[in-house]
Amino acid sequence: MKPRLSGKKLLFVLFTLCTLTAFGQGAEPAIERKGFVIGFGIGGGVISVSDSNQETSFDKASGGISLPNLKIGWMLSERTALLATFPGMIYEYEGRDRSFEAFIPSLQYWPSSRWWINGGIGLAMDFPAFYEVDDFKDEDWNFGCAVAAGTGYEIVQKKNFALDIQSKIHLGRAFMGNDQYRDGVAFTVGLGFNWY
């Protein structure tokens, strides 16, 4: 006959295991955000691009990879960073890949120890994807203005490193000459790797 644990003994064993597990968890060291900041994100999203001569603006959207979404900057305080961010996505135009990107000076603020928000205004850039360029002189390079806002949640924090889940919306208008312009809006979701 197999020995059985009574209900009280089973509860005692479970309570003991839970208590030991709880005490076995060391306090997580606090992340140190100070000085130089560098990070990059990888993910996917949706982009819609519309030229000024289109009858219907943003009539098509396409999915794609969002890479590398760089950020570099300096911590102003424990919860605020001044960053240069580089959001962007690839889209297809007339059978070739183009990149709708931006250079955006921005502020990033942590309202809590893991959640951050970010926003800024800067330079929109619309140009051929680097792997499509045969001769730089023959390509259309368009510039204008852009805004971006993002948020993220740090799921892993170590002393000088954080891995986060992030999303960003990036809107821009690049001027193409002859009073023409190209508007773009991109929404991305991905993983961010950040060092402080």
Residue 94, pLDDT score: 84
Asked if residues 166 and 192 have their Cβ atoms less than 8 Å apart, the reply is: yes
Paired with 163 in beta bridges are 156, 193
Provide the pLDDT for residue 5. 54
Q: How far apart are CA 142 and CA 154, in angstroms?
A: 35
Which stretches of the chain drop beneath a pLDDT of 50?
A: none
How many DSSP H helices and E strands does the chain contain? 1, 10
Query: What's the CA gap between 91 and 52, in Å, rounded?
Result: 17
For the chain, domains (ranges, CATH) are: 35-195 (2.40.160.20)
Q: Provide the pLDDT for residue 3.
A: 56
